[in-house]
Structure formats: C-alpha cells, structure tokens
Copies of this chain bind each other. A is one copy, B any other.
Amino acid sequence: MHFKVELPNWVIEESEKLPEIMPTLESQMEAVIRFSRINFQKETGGPFAAGIFEKETGKRVVIGVNRVVPGNNSTAHAEIVTIGMAQAILETFDLGGPGMPNYRLVVNARPCAMCFGSIPWSGVRSLAFAAAGEEVEKITGFDEGPIHPQWQQELEARNIEVIENVMAVEAYEVFREFAASDSPIYNGRSGESS
C-alpha cells in the first residue's frame, strides 16, 4: 500500500530551462514565484512553490509545488513536497547530515504551521520566504493555521537562519491574481460536522 507525490510535467520542463547554478537568492525566488503562478494557472495545485538550493553555491536541487487538490493529499504543501523530493534525489532523510553542504529552503510565502514544523526535521539550515502569512490569509482566505507565536526565534534557536520579505511585492501579486480567479480555497473540514 502506498501513495505517490508527483510533480506535474510542466515543472520538469520549466526546471530544465533553468541554470543548474542560481547564485543569487533573488534569481531563486524569482523562479519559485513564477512556479507558484503557473501552478494555479494550470490547475496543478495551489499558488505555492518552494525550492531547495545549496546555500553557498546556489546549486539547485529541486523546485516543487503544492499538490493538495490534484494529489488528494492535504499534507502535499509546497514545502513538504519539495523537502521529500530533495531527500529522494539526495537519498537521505537529513539534508543537514555529515558531509552535506548547507541547504536553503526558498518559499513564496511564510510556511504554515505544518510546514514550519517540518523545517527542523528536514536538515535545511536556512529559510527564505517572500509573502508574510497574515497578508496571504487576508488576500486569499487560506487559514494558515496555528503557527508557533515565536516561530522565527524557534528556528534560529536550532541554528536555522530566517530571511523574510524577499521579493514580497512580486509574491503578493500572484496571490491577488489567485484571489481574483475562480480557483478553490481548500481549508480543512469544509463539510458540516455530522
């Protein structure tokens, strides 16, 4: 018995057009934000994408996208998908294991409570994101869930660097386009309690 978490074909095709080394955080974020837009436009998932890159060189491991609705899997947020893909590619459950370079997770929005909790386990040593959580909730109606009130300090206490507000204007633009579209908002427990 199993389930599969799969990236859509366009992700593979678009990724092949990108350079293997993307040295600036801005070039990484630009690609991540572009993938978040294509993902909802093509109806292959919600407006979220994430990438994992070597922190020092900018070498790209993988860019992944939200797959909740098409994958029938509420845990398939961009970060969970991308961490799982990177670990499958690098054949390790710990991206911070002995002998590994430092890895950075780059996301188009602040992680939700679940994805925040996934970061210490993943082994990445840096998180960079664009849009702030409250703003995304306001624009889109997503309930980002009960994240730890001191989530940033909690990551830093585990030696995980946090860089916020990277190309946030460009990220908000995607969420506004999403909100203006007919795309579904998929918070949990959409039915009545029976």
Contacting chain B: which of A22-30, A108-116, A163-171, A175-183? A108-116
- Considering residues A73, A101, A154, A192, which has the most beta carbons from chain B within 10 angstroms of its beta carbon? A73
Q: Are A113 and B123 in contact (CB under 8 A)?
A: no
Per-position binary interface string of chain A over residues 80-111, scored 1 when its CB falls under 8 Å from any chain B CB and 0 otherwise? 10011101100111111111111000000000
CA separation between A120 and B114, bound complex, in Å?
9
Check if A7 is an interface residue, CB within 8 A of chain B: yes
Contacts of A100 in B (CB 8 A): 191, 194
- Do the beta carbons of A97 and B6 come within 8 Å of each other? no
Q: Is A71 at the interface (CB under 8 A from chain B)?
A: yes
Say which residue of B98, B117, B121 sits within 8 Å of A192 (CB atoms): B98
Q: Is A145 an interface residue (CB 8 A)?
A: yes
| Complex: A101 Cα to B6 Cα, angstroms | 28
User: Chain B nearest CB: distance from A3 CB in Å?
Assistant: 4
**A156 and B94 alpha carbons, distance in the complex (Å):** 33
Q: Which B residues are in CB contact (< 8 Å) with A11?
A: 1
Residue A17 interfacial (CB < 8 Å)? no
Q: A80-B80, A189-B158 in contact; A113/B148 too (CB < 8 A)?
A: yes
Chain A residues with CB under 8 Å of chain B are 1-7, 11-12, 56, 62, 68-69, 71-77, 80, 83-85, 87-88, 91-102, 112-118, 120-123, 125, 143, 145-151, 154-155, 158-160, 186-194
